[in-house]
């Protein structure tokens, strides 16, 4: 009988507690996204580089992939679709083509895949693995969602839920339209 009363009180209190978004995290626990840099960029103007600092105010999706990884190549159409659907709402996508071994990546191979897969967003080559290490990457494909203030708010690796990733992306895009973000 005592168990029933305790369980009832627990569920009652849980029902009355204010609901928080599933993806909410305390501001002090957020990690600023490491900067992205590399010697070779595709789909950017000549002699220009993109930085996360210059993209503050936009939601950034960082997409880690490899030219020889079949799973990476299979998700590119979805990333392209997200980019087209959400770019007018403040989304920027940066593809990071990373090498697992440091030798299985070439400018020609990346350029070929960018053209073949009709990638419309900027892509940087992570030739020395520094971006891979900075993001503690362990597998392709991986997605990182960065909020308008430059903090990592979502990490999705290898066999992730597209529905969850899309919900998180939409939440971040909507969050930027609110004055609440400015108070963080």
pLDDT grade, residue 180 (50/70/90)?
very low
Average pLDDT in the 21-39 region? 73
pTM of the model: 0.79
At residue 48, the pLDDT reads 74
- Compute the radius of gyration of the chain from its Cα atoms: 19
pLDDT tens column, 11-29: 333 343 333 333 444 555 7
Entry field: residues in the chain: 184
pLDDT band at 138 (very low <50, low <70, confident <90, very high): confident
**Token pair 């940066």 is at which residue?**
94
Question: Domain locations in the chain?
Answer: 31-183
Query: Which fold would CATH assign to domain 31-183?
Result: Glutaredoxin (3.40.30)
What is the dihedral sign for C-alpha 4, 8, 9, 11? Answer: positive
Give the integer Cα–Cα distance in Å for 44 and 49: 7
């Amino acid at each position: 009988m005592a168990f029933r009363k305790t369980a009832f009180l627990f569920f009652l209190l849980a029902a009355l507690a204010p609901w928080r978004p599933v993806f909410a995290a305390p501001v002090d626990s957020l990690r600023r996204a490491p900067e992205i840099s590399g010697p070779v960029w595709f789909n950017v103007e000549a002699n220009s580089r993109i930085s996360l600092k210059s993209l503050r105010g936009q939601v950034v999706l960082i997409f880690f992939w490899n030219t020889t990884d079949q799973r990476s190549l299979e998700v590119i159409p979805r990333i392209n679709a997200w980019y087209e659907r959400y770019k007018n709402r403040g989304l920027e996508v940066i593809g990071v083509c990373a090498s697992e071994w440091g030798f299985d990546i070439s400018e020609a191979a990346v350029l070929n895949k960018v053209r073949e897969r009709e990638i419309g967003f900027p892509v940087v080559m992570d030739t020395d693995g520094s971006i891979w290490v900075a993001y503690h990457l362990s597998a392709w494909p991986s997605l990182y969602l960065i909020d308008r203030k430059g903090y990592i708010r979502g990490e999705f690796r290898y066999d992730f839920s597209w529905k969850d990733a899309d919900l998180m992306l939409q939440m971040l895009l909507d969050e930027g339209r609110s004055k609440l973000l400015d108070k963080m």
